[in-house]
Structure 1
Amino acid sequence: MDKLKRVLSGKDAEEPGVLAEVADASSLSWSTRVKGFIACFAIGVLCSILGTCLLWLPRRGTVLFAVFYTLGNISSLGSTIFLMGPMRQLKRMFEPTRLIATIVMLLCLILTLCSAFWWHNKGLALIFCVLQFFALAWYSISYIPFARDAVKKCFTACLT
């Protein structure tokens, strides 16, 4: 468990110094980080489920769906900040291996909200929500070693 804590907090390769001691003294405890992660992730899942339920409302249902679904994905994505910290999360998001996935995911989040609020196009909002789902899934599996290769092989096998 200590190894997992060191890897997720980014202290695995660092030598402890004065700055590391100050950061440890002023940062959240591991149990608080885990609780924050669980709470933020649960809020994200609840928002996504609520958005899916609101999709079936006769008026403005698609807009509410797009907003709640996007807020749920943002909250779920932000939950990992509790485990890694904000700067490490941003650095890992924009690493070369997941740069394209991050850009597509953020672009889909923004386009979903734009299509719901400014363009008032329900069809586009739904399309961007679907793209948002796939972009977030592709981004998420980039953290699992060899998961992208396995998914590619699975789709290749299904298509041939």
Structure 2
Amino acid sequence: MDPSLRALPHAARISMLAHPREGGSQERLAPHPRTSIMAAYQILLLIKFVGVILYSGGLIGSFVATALVDRKRAVHAVASPGLVVTWIAGYLLTTQLQVPLTELWIVAAIPLSLVSQLALVHSVSRDRRTTGAFVSAFAPLFMVLLMMVFRPTWSGVGS
């Protein structure tokens, strides 16, 4: 880097390096490490969101479809892969954010999502489309969404 640029504030250096016609050098700055970390975080968050949408769509499709074949397809071809995508993306997000898997909201969300999946599979395998079957699959999913949004911690349990 040009020694005369070192004395300038960071923002001015970036501006001059990014616009060489306006007096800056031809040298370009490498992307800031936080930029690539943030991009990875946002991509993982998007992937997790897609997984949640797939799972929710499969859950709703399994109760809306009239034919048993379509209901099974909604569960096994849409909801189940959506749950796997959600779990994998969620795990990768925890590693990205360096959040331990022992946090209350994670410890509660994993079995709740599994309960929702098992209730969904059970309702399709028994060909049940009752309100109770829907609630038994939807209520745990709703609780998972609450856990992911509000992120309760162990320190808040005792108070």
When normalised by structure 2's length, the TM-score is: 0.48
Considering only CA atoms, is the larger Rg found in Structure 1 or Structure 2?
Answer: 2
When normalised by structure 1's length, the TM-score is: 0.48
